[in-house]
Amino acid sequence: MLELYHCDPNANSGKPMMALHEKGVPFVSHYVDLPNFGAHDPEFLKVNPEGKAPVLVHDGRVLIESTQMCEYIDEAFEGPPLRPEDPRERWRMRWWSGYMDRDFGPSLSMIAWSRFIGPMHRARPPEELERLLSRVPDPARREAWRTAIFGDFAPGRLEESFRRLGVGAQRLEEALRRSPWVAGSVFSIGDIVAFNMAGALPRLFPDMANAKSMPRLTEWIERMRDRPGIRTALAMDRGALRNAGRPPT
């Protein structure tokens, strides 16, 4: 039995969702409303006591870390390969995955919290917000949530995050000038990871990434959206980010 606990098909949750659909692997979907503290519900904490999603459960084996999940999915199940056979391209797949997870993704997350999620949570009654924060199991993570909600970032950090997004977008543009996919000649997990982090750039930051300034990046985004597996995963969106801060129904 294969189960996936996930939020919407973007950022970390989107990676295993898209990998599974690209491979054509059926799975049981469990939706976790991350922006509304769904990963800290008692039932979910039984699955992952760390209070983090996504989580892949395969025949009772619990797997975390979304990028590594994609490699597990590719190796454990039949279907089209998600990793290049060429050693150099496989290295590039892992380089891009690491770069997006380590540098680009956290910068995008900080901006998203500052602009969208934080203000929505601050609209909650203070006592309700404190109650929800108290359910975050890890004290350091609880403090990180508090910092993100109230926008209490160190001076210059938001500006640095915007700078890193710009650098990352330009790197993607240059890579896609050299080859059709981020790792080289074939579609791979590197494309899945990069798309989940950078796929919304033209919509969120059109001054940074648009068809005129970054034609290769915007064309790649459209090609990604046209892939049947990606399209199926995107259709599972429930709008958690758009509805962040609203009580779950």
Mean pLDDT of 30-39: 92
Say what the pLDDT of residue 151 is: 75
Helix (H) or strand (E) holding 140: helix 139-150
- Indicate whether 202 belongs to any domain: yes
pLDDT for position 241: 60
Choice among 37-51, 119-133, 191-205, 235-249 with the minimum mean pLDDT: 235-249
32 domain-assigned: yes
28 and 133 together in one domain: no
**pLDDT tens readout for residues 49-105:** 999 999 999 999 999 999 999 999 999 999 999 999 999 999 999 999 999 999 999
Flag whether 64 is in a domain.
yes
- For 177-221, write each residue's pLDDT tens digit: 999 999 999 999 999 999 999 999 999 999 999 999 999 999 999
Same domain, 110 and 192: yes
Question: Where does the pLDDT of residue 147 fall: very low under 50, low under 70, confident under 90, or very high at 90 and above?
Answer: confident
- What per-residue confidence (pLDDT) applies to 247? 41
Total number of domains in the chain: 2
Read off the tokens for 46. Answer: 């039984």
Q: Residue 216's domain spans which residues?
A: 87-227
- Do 67 and 93 reside in the same domain of the chain? no
Quick check: 144 pLDDT over 90?
no
The model carries a pTM of 0.91
- Answer yes or no: do 201 and 100 share one domain: yes
248 vs 138, higher pLDDT = 138
CATH number of the structural domain spanning residue 207:
1.20.1050.10
In a domain, 205, yes or no: yes
Quick one: 100 and 192 in the same domain?
Answer: yes
pLDDT at site 245: 43
Kind plus residue range of the DSSP H or E element containing 4: strand 2-6
What DSSP line would sit under 83-118, residue for residue?
S-SSHHHHHHHHHHHHHIIIIIHHHHHHHHIIIIIH
Q: Tell which wins on pLDDT, 227 or 157.
A: 227
Q: Is 146 exposed, middle or buried (0-12, 13-18, 19+ CB in 10 A)?
A: middle
pLDDT at 119 over 90: no
Q: Please compute the mean of the pLDDT values over residues 154-166 and round it to a whole number.
A: 90
In a domain, 45, yes or no: yes
Q: Looking at the structure, do residues 6 and 71 belong to the same domain, yes or no?
A: yes
Residue 60 and residue 108 share a domain: no
58 and 121 co-located in one domain: no
91 and 71 housed in the same domain = no
pLDDT at 243: 53
CATH number at residue 14: 3.40.30.10
Nearest-angstrom CA–CA distance, 134 and 116: 22
Residue 196 three-state SS: helix
